[in-house]
Amino acid sequence: MASYRYKVRDKAGSATLATVEASSRSELTALLRKQGFQVVTIEEAKGFPVLLDQMVLRFRKRTSPQEVVSFTRQMALLVRSGIPLVDAIESLAEQPFSPVFKEVLRTLGQDLRQGRSFSEALAQHPAAFSVFSVNMVKSAETAGILDQVLERLASLGEEEMELRGRVSSALVYPVLLVFLSLGVVTFLMAFVLPKFISIFEESEVILPLPTRILLFISQLLQNFWFLIPPVVGGAVWAGLRYFRRPEGRVRLHRWILQAPLLGRLMTQTLLARAFRVLAALLKSGVAAVPALAVTEDLMGNEILSNAVGRIRRAVVGGAPLSEPFRAEKVFPSTVVQLVAVGERTGTLDESFLHLADYYDKEVDKSLRTFTALLEPLLLLIMGLVVGFVALSVLLPIFQLVRVFQR
């Protein structure tokens, strides 16, 4: 994926400048023309301004997951009541959504009036509606069960938000503890420790190694503090550039899955999401291959995404679904057994739903274990850091006391 900066004009002649990611210039050109834009310029974007452009663009187009879930559930109710799609969307646009989401709803109504299907209209807003949602709605339009699928999408969205909330809540205290401890240590080294420097220098006492190390760090903070923001910013920028590349992304995602405490939790969280998506797609009538393709795009981890991609290609080649699952070592034997049972009985959607429920429970257990181990570990590390600072200050003071006693 590369970043491209483009300028387009809509049918009214209004110009738009933006920066997006795309596989190639030709793919982006085709997509923009399909959306009804006249392409003026497209050039590959490089450098630090690209990062700023993308951050601003994502912030402007950001929609709240709560808004999307609320819209989906209300749409299910209105569609079930027999209200036409256009009227339902226009009535929901009157509700107190954010300006960004209201603009999305306004555009959805316009697209429907121009003859686009509901799924095609949703596909024009990838920042609000995922590929998974678009495919679910597309299958529902074919089967005539739009209200049921919208209700299912709303339930899935609520479960996803609940899962993210549990993970975020479990990480709040450890993260707060780390930042608080770093702030205290930085304050001691930048403002408290320098007051002891003159005493140590006048005493001509040979300072112990921990004190010399701490004084060196303290002097760096005092004399070269203005270098810290550009150095940190440059390091973050270089890291983001590297991890945005395919090889860097694969390496980062492999590190995450192999991390001692975090890896198991992340694997279970991603598997719970993937199996719930597969269950919903299969239950809505989507075939196994396109369902796997959607799951591959939504996986959120290159290692697991590549594994799902290999499974999809094997199924396209005629292999039964359980065989490529068995070949991928990232999936436990429980997954392989349930997939095989689902294939034999024709209940793959139920098998994946059972797996999703199972991994949801495993996430809860892993979260409790993770927080139970992480908090004392962080306390120990921060205690060692603070102890090192205290020892570095007290050791020369003890030496001064001995000198005065003589």
Query: What is the rounded CA–CA span in Å between residue 335 and residue 325?
Result: 8
Q: Give the DSSP H or E segment for 239.
A: helix 228-244
Order the strands of the 38-44 sheet from edge to edge: 15-22, 2-9, 38-44
Q: What is the pLDDT of residue 218?
A: 76
Angstrom CA distances, 141 to 122, 146, 285, stand at 13, 6, 11
Structural domain ending residue among the three candidates 12, 43, 61: 61
336 in a domain, yes or no?
Answer: yes
Contact 389, 189 (CB under 8 A): yes
How would DSSP label each residue in 247-284?
Answer: HHHHHHHHHHHH-TTHHHHHHHHHHHHHHHHHHHHHHT
On whether both 297 and 401 belong to a single domain, the answer is yes
Alpha helices (H) in 286-347, listed in sequence order: 288-298, 302-316, 322-327, 333-345
Query: What is the rounded CA–CA span in Å between residue 363 and residue 355?
Result: 12
Q: Which residues of the chain have pLDDT under 50?
A: 47-60
Q: What is the pLDDT of residue 15?
A: 63
253 in a domain, yes or no?
Answer: yes
Q: 15: which residues sit within 8 A by CB, 6+ positions away?
A: 7, 8, 9, 40
On whether both 77 and 207 belong to a single domain, the answer is no
Q: What is the pLDDT of residue 57?
A: 45
Token pair for 332: 């436990």
Q: What is the pLDDT of residue 59?
A: 44
140 in a domain, yes or no?
Answer: no
How would DSSP label each residue in 51-81?
Answer: HHHHHHHHHHH---HHHHHHHHHHHHHHHHT
22 in a domain, yes or no?
Answer: yes
Structural domain ending residue among the three candidates 61, 80, 95: 61
Q: What is the pLDDT of residue 311?
A: 92
Query: What is the rounded CA–CA span in Å between residue 380 and residue 393?
Result: 20
- 50: domain range? 2-61
Evaluate if pTM is beyond 0.75. Answer: no
30 in a domain, yes or no?
Answer: yes
20 in a domain, yes or no?
Answer: yes
On whether both 292 and 371 belong to a single domain, the answer is yes
137 in a domain, yes or no?
Answer: no
Angstrom CA distances, 220 to 194, 200, 208, 225, 227, stand at 11, 18, 19, 7, 10
Contact 120, 49 (CB under 8 A): no
On whether both 119 and 238 belong to a single domain, the answer is no
